[in-house]
Amino acid sequence: MASLTIRKLDDTVKTYLRLRSAKNRRSVEEEVRVILRELIEGREEPLTPFAAPPAPSTTPTPQRAGAVAEASVTLIIGGGIAAYKSLDLIRRLKERRIEVRCVLTKAAQQFVTPLAASALSHERVYTDLFDPQSEFDAGHIRLARDCDLIVVAPATADLMAKMANGHADDLASAILLATNRKVLLAPAMNPLMWNNAATRRNVTQLQRDGVVLIGPNSGEMAEAGEAGVGRMSEAIEIANAAERLLRPPVPKPLAGKRVLITAGPTHEPIDPVRYIANRSSGKQGFAIAAAAQAAGAEVILVSGPVDLDAPPGVTVKHVESARQMLEQVQAALPADIAIFAAAVADWRVANEGEQKLKKTSAGMPPLQLVENPDILATISKLADKRPPLVIGFAAETEHLIDNAKSKLARKGCDWIVANDVSPATGVMGGDRNTVHLISRKNGEMTVDSWPVMTKEQVAIELVAHIAKSVSDKSLEPAS
Ligand SMILES: Cc1cc2nc3c(=O)[nH]c(=O)nc-3n(C[C@H](O)[C@H](O)[C@H](O)COP(=O)(O)O)c2cc1C
């Protein structure tokens, strides 16, 4: 790969880069990387380096959507024998799609070379606080903040003492004092150094300051015949600890629960080519399925005809009519939670034509309607396989709350999510929804009205309510 020297760029470009990087509070190098990434992704931001700078961020860079978000670490390598393990740590971090920029203390360079760290990280290595090349734009501040995490490995007794006391007389300690990122230390030292009262005081102070420690482990020391607590954690342990801090596990409050969801309209055939339908898009039910799946549930989605992609990880059963929907719902039981968000047709044509109905001089074909099975009531009233939590949707165009309350009383379900689907609301087929959650508390019906939200937000909120109810009631698992 060709390398780019910013000094050799022409003055206009350099000025632009300096202003833009200052505005975005990144190093010039980092800014060039961002510009190139944006160009490749086809979304370069307008050339407005003079716009008001954003407030300095104190939170890690937001993770971009995708399989595994990228993250970056500033790795400070201290002057201890274990520094050789940090070369392996660079590889372990990069395997986890974590970018690494290394800083070597003066002492560290006695144990490993900047060249080795640079070759493994594929990045420039930093060693000097007073380096005119990186300090023209306060490089030590960039190293302290243009990352999601700082890892110090090995964290020498000396580095920890400096940190605990706020020293900043070299690049490593200046970065550690200037950072607003989380710091992970992997101490490594002789057991006597580790147990020394001064080190004990420093460790206590650092933990109070919110610094996270991994290790040290117990074992043999480099010094012949010495053993005890002081060995640096293995590279893989440090990389795992860094990853836990960078990508904390997402809570899965519905793990182990089976959730059955219906979505979309139903199509009730008139003849082989015509049907009765409604305007439901299925977006709300699909969003609930995605939110339940993200909360760790096993999700079965029974969907009427819609133009939506199956949410990843969700089992979708496609149906057309209300009767097919009921069949698939019954086949999917048992479930811990059932959410009936489909807009099921109340009626179907009793005398469905076997052939396409023809215009005749006898006038309009007589269409007789019969009631469809009531899926919500059927499942709510099951004696044996009733899911412990059954939620229905009420789509109303008038008297929303009254109608929804009487639906809750009539159907035997536990909650009703009521939404006004009058054309003016744009709910049917639209992306937003305003819902009212109707449930019972101490025998009384309660109405919880939510503000207007996207259907995804409604889904996340509903799943959060379900998760709370599940943990309060500890629903028995479906089996
Ligand atoms: C051979 C050798 C091995 C060392 N190993 C360690 C060690 O494992 N841990 C430690 O805290 N200091 C160790 N030291 C002492 C540090 O190198 C010394 O305190 C140095 O000033 C640390 O600088 P730094 O914290 O800026 O990296 C060692 C020194 C030598 C000569």
Q: Ligand 1: which of 156, 167, 203 to mutate, most ligand atoms within 8 Å of CB?
A: 156
Q: Which residues contact 232 (CB under 8 A, 6 or more apart)?
A: 80, 82, 85, 153, 154, 186, 187, 188, 215, 216, 217, 238
**How many whole angstroms separate alpha carbon 170 and alpha carbon 456?**
49
Choose the final residue of a domain: 196, 222, 246. 246
Q: Is 153 in the pocket of ligand 1 (CB under 6 A)?
A: no
Q: Is the peptide bond before 216 cis (omega within 30 degrees of 0)?
A: yes
In this structure, the answer to whether residues 217 and 275 fall within a common structural domain is no
Q: Which residues contact 399 (CB under 8 A, 6 or more apart)?
A: none
Q: Ligand 1: which of 112, 128, 152, 158 to mutate, most ligand atoms within 8 Å of CB?
A: 158
Q: Is 81 in the pocket of ligand 1 (CB under 6 A)?
A: yes
Q: Is 157 in the pocket of ligand 1 (CB under 6 A)?
A: yes
In this structure, the answer to whether residues 153 and 87 fall within a common structural domain is yes
Range of the domain at 87: 21-29+69-246
In this structure, the answer to whether residues 383 and 418 fall within a common structural domain is yes
- The per-residue DSSP string of 345-356 comes to -SEEETT--SS-
Nearest atom (ligand 1) to Cα of 158: 25
Closest CA to 149 of 109, 202, 105, 89: 89
Structure tokens at 95: 């395997």
In this structure, the answer to whether residues 222 and 270 fall within a common structural domain is no
Give the closest residue (by CA) to ligand 1 atom 11. 156
* Local mean pLDDT, 10-residue blocks, the chain (479 residues): 64 74 71 78 43 37 43 97 97 96 98 97 92 70 91 98 97 96 97 97 98 93 80 96 91 95 96 92 96 96 96 96 98 98 95 84 83 97 96 87 92 93 74 90 90 91 94 57
| Predicted pLDDT at 87 | 97
C-alpha 79 to ligand 1 mean position (Å): 5
Q: Is 282 in the pocket of ligand 1 (CB under 6 A)?
A: no
Q: Is 79 in the pocket of ligand 1 (CB under 6 A)?
A: yes
| Predicted pLDDT at 250 | 79
| Predicted pLDDT at 25 | 65
In this structure, the answer to whether residues 192 and 310 fall within a common structural domain is no
In this structure, the answer to whether residues 236 and 263 fall within a common structural domain is no
Q: Is 173 in the pocket of ligand 1 (CB under 6 A)?
A: no
419 among known catalytic residues: no
Instruction: Please tell me the total count of domains within the chain.
Output: 2
| Predicted pLDDT at 275 | 94
In this structure, the answer to whether residues 120 and 228 fall within a common structural domain is yes
Q: Is 78 in the pocket of ligand 1 (CB under 6 A)?
A: yes
Nearest atom (ligand 1) to Cα of 157: 11
In this structure, the answer to whether residues 176 and 291 fall within a common structural domain is no
3-class DSSP state of 479: coil
Give the closest residue (by CA) to ligand 1 atom 19. 158
In this structure, the answer to whether residues 308 and 438 fall within a common structural domain is yes
* CATH number of the domain enclosing 419: 3.40.50.10300
In this structure, the answer to whether residues 90 and 182 fall within a common structural domain is yes
H-only helix segments in 179-270? 191-195, 197-208, 235-246
Q: Is 191 in the pocket of ligand 1 (CB under 6 A)?
A: no
C-alpha 179 to ligand 1 mean position (Å): 23
C-alpha 65 to ligand 1 mean position (Å): 42
| Predicted pLDDT at 138 | 66
Residue 479 lies in a domain: no
Q: Which residues contact 437 (CB under 8 A, 6 or more apart)?
A: 415, 416, 417, 418, 447, 448, 450, 462, 465
Look up tokens 């019906």; give the residue: 445
- Catalytic residue, from 165, 180, 278, 433: name it: 278
In this structure, the answer to whether residues 302 and 334 fall within a common structural domain is yes
C-alpha 108 to ligand 1 mean position (Å): 8
In this structure, the answer to whether residues 330 and 195 fall within a common structural domain is no
Q: Is 49 in the pocket of ligand 1 (CB under 6 A)?
A: no
Q: Is the peptide bond before 423 cis (omega within 30 degrees of 0)?
A: no
